[in-house]
Structures are given as C-alpha cells and as structure tokens.
Structure 1
Amino acid sequence: MSGDAGTEQVVRRGRPTGDHEAKRAELLKAAASVIAREGYANASLRKVAQRAGCTTGAVTYYFANKEELVTALAESRFDTYDALLEAGLDRTDIKASFERWLALTTGDDEFWPVMSQLLAHARYEPAFAALIERRYARYREVHTSILAAGQAQGTIRDDIPADLLADQLSAMGDGWMMMFPFEPERFTPSRVQALIDAAITLISPTPGNTSRTSGS
C-alpha cells in the first residue's frame, strides 16, 4: 500500500504498555477520522499516528501496514452491522431494524463517508473486495432470515422472495450511504424517517395480494 514515501511497511516495535484492545480501537477510530476527512488515498500510518497522538511505530505494533489497518477498520464496521442485526433476530420488526441501522450511521458524522471510501477502494484491491463480499453475504443472509420470518407472520409481502427483498433493501441503504457525503441536507431526521416509512411501504403486504406461502 502506498504511504507518504513509497510502500508504508514498517517492522513492528516492542510491545506498548496499556490495554491492547482499547489501543486498537483508538487507532481504528483515528484511521476512520483521517479517511473521513482526507479520503482513503490520502490516509497514511503517519497521519493516523498524529491523529491518535502517538508515534508511527506505535501504530505498526498493532497494524503492520495501511492495508492491515484498513482491513481491520472494515471488519469492525461489519461487526457493528452484525451486532445490530443479531439483536433483532428474535423480532420481525424490519422497520425497527432500519431505524437502528440509520441511527447508528447518522449518529456518527464519519460513518457514511468512511464506508463509502472503503467500498470504492475495494474495487481496486481483490483481497479487500473478497472481504467486503464475504461480510456483505453474511449481512444479507441475516437480513433475509428476518424478512422471511416477517413473511411467515404476514407483516412482509411474500410475493417476492425474502432474499430479493434483502438485496433491494441493502441496495437502497448503500445508495443513501454513497450520497450522504455529497448531499447531507437530503438526510435530515424528518426525511430519514420518511425514507424508512417509504421503504417499509414497499415491502409491506398489498391489499388483495394472494399469499404465496399459504397457497390460497
């Protein structure tokens, strides 16, 4: 990965003192801040270290290079997605799930700008693209199970397979995420709520719809 002067690959230094996981989380937060403000291409281990208030050597103890750091950042973001979805597995309220997801992303000014940068970067890095594909597949799998449960209960339209609905909802969310950094004024709290309501209307059973699962 290119850094400030060629390949940014540094030998790990001696073990720093303090809480290992807390320090990793601090560095990932610093990396997100740098990427959100300067973009992926302009992010470097040196800038992350400056943002975190430490040396570059301290960063490379936890992350050998920029690629490892960014991969860990992407994994942490998808871990957050997974935790959010897992929390709703015992319920079929897809609207609540959408609201929790958007509360997470709109509550952090850096969330959408960072994710859009990571998704754009994945196009040019096969290994990173494989990570995104794997984590998105898991995201859609869990989302599909929630939608399928809603179909069984009659709260979600069942004339379209749950996996297709999951793909559609994911695409809608990704579209909002990609546009948010450019048009934040479109995503006021009231309009975000209107977008959620519109999405729920699209996946709700329509009057007179013949249930595919009941066979009626």
Structure 2
Amino acid sequence: MSSDKATAQAARRGRPTGDHTAKREALLKAAASVIAEEGYGNASLRKVAQRAGYTTGAVTYYFANKEELVTALAESRFDAYDAMLRAHGPSADMKALFEEWLATAASDPEFWPVVSQLLMHARYEPAFAALIERRNARTRAIHTSIVAAGQARGTVRDDIPADLLADHLAATADGWMMMIPFESERFTPSRLRALVDATMTLISPASGSRRPAESTAAGDTP
C-alpha cells in the first residue's frame, strides 16, 4: 500500500490516540471473547468494539472488516504457540512441553472454543484456510523436529517416524483441549498430570526396539 493511500485510509477511519499496540491487542482479546461466547457468526465489529470499550470506527482503523480481524486473531494464536515452542528450544523436554501445552487450554476457557470456531470458518473461506494450512505446516515441522531430536537422544521411541509420532501427539493434545471446556471437572490437575505421564510412557523407547526397516532386513524373519 502506498504511503498516500495509507494516510488517506487512516484519515477516513479516524486515527485513534494512545498506545496502538495495546489497543490492537485489546481488540483481539475482545474478538476472542465475543467468538467464544456467541460464536463466529454472531461476532460483529460492533460487538467487538462494545466489548473492548471502543467505537466501531476505532475498530475499523485497525481492521477494515471482520475478515481482517479474525485473520489477525488466528495469526496471534499461532504466534503465541510458536513463542512457547521457541522458549523450549529445539531440544525441548517433551513432558514439560506437553504439560505447558495442556495448561494453556486448561487455564483459558476461551482457548479451544475460539480455535474451533476459526477452524470451522476456514472451511468456507479459501484464503483463510490457506493461512491456517500455512501456519499449521510451520508448527507441524517444529513438532517433528522436536520429536526427531528426542529420538536422536534416545528418549523417544524411534520405531515410528518422527512426523507420524508428532501428528499423533498433536491430535491427542487437541482432543483433550476440545473436551476441557465441557468437562472441566473431569480434567483435574492430577488427571492432566496422569494423562501426560501416560503419553510419555507411550512414546518412550521399548527395550530392544528397532525401526520397522531393520526388522525386514535380509536374513530376518518377518
């Protein structure tokens, strides 16, 4: 966008005063709250503005329309998760990472309701679906590298390819996160710890385990 066009657009929307980063974050938080409580279809710019305590004009300064708003919200969710992965590093402790992953959902009742609404919306918006696919591919690659690092250290079973194991772990955690908002009384802190311990047992190397390719080497009995 040219500087002249950007200036004209800002003037048309009305340039709000104050900390722009903080206001943008407040609007994203308000959008998440509205979507979690009323669903994506009922989340309008007007409702988001009311929830944040701003005018609708202030919202359109940051986000021209609802699509821009939800796209920014999806990006912010991916950014937060990627930041958590970076904090743990490429040689992350799998148990600690899993525990923090689940703690995020358990401590934020809006987490999965918002994510699930955004994923459903992506089914009907090709551009938004492309964003989800792109960001998820990046996250999946990081998951795979962390699992592969664990396999190289001997702390994660290596009889299943790292990318398949990473997908299974992600699906397991996502399944728990999906149910936590509806069965919070069942997912107690002690149960979450037990679930993580069980998952770590499942991905730990078995004594004498070998890769599938090794078991079919010349001379081996199938």
Question: Normalising by the residue count of structure 2, what TM-score does the alignment of the two structures yield?
Answer: 0.86
Matched, 1:116 2:120: no
Deviation at 1:105, TM superposition (A): 2.1
Counterpart of 1:198 in structure 2 is 198
Closer, same or farther in 2 for the Cα pair 1:160/1:43, shift >3 Å?
same
Matched, 1:132 2:170: no
Report the CA distance between 1:192 and its aligned residue: 1.5
Work out whether residues 90 and 145 of structure 2, in 8 Å CA contact, stay in contact via their aligned partners in 1: no
Judging by fraction of residues, say which structure has more helix: 2
TM-aligned CA deviation for residue 90 of structure 1: 4.4
1:1-216 equivalences in 2 (<5 Å): 13-210=13-210
Matched-pair contact (CA < 8 Å) for 1:158–1:212:
no
CA deviation string 1:4-32 (max 9, x = no partner) = xxxxxxx9512110111111000000000
Between 168-177 and 11-20, report the one with greater CA deviation: 11-20
Say if 1:12 and 1:64, in contact at 8 Å, map to a contact too: no
TM-score scaled by length of structure 1:
0.89
Structure 1 residues 95, 13: closer, same or farther in 2, change over 3 A?
Answer: same
What SS does structure 2 have at the residue aligned with 1:103?
helix
Q: Secondary structure, in 3 states, of the residue corresponding to 1:186?
A: coil
Which has the larger displacement, 121-130 or 63-72?
121-130
Deviation at 1:214, TM superposition (A): 9.8
Between the aligned partners of 2:122 and 2:66, the Cα distance in structure 1 is 14
Separation in structure 2 between the aligned mates of residue 187 and residue 130 of structure 1, nearest angstrom: 33
CA distance in 2, matches of 1:71, 1:12: 22
**Residues of 2 paired with 1:102 and 1:61: CA distance?**
35
Rg larger for:
2
Q: Which runs of 5+ in 2 are unaligned?
A: 1-10, 216-222
Structure 1 residues 183 and 214 mapped into 2: Cα distance closer, same or farther (>3 Å)?
Answer: same
Q: Percent identity?
A: 75
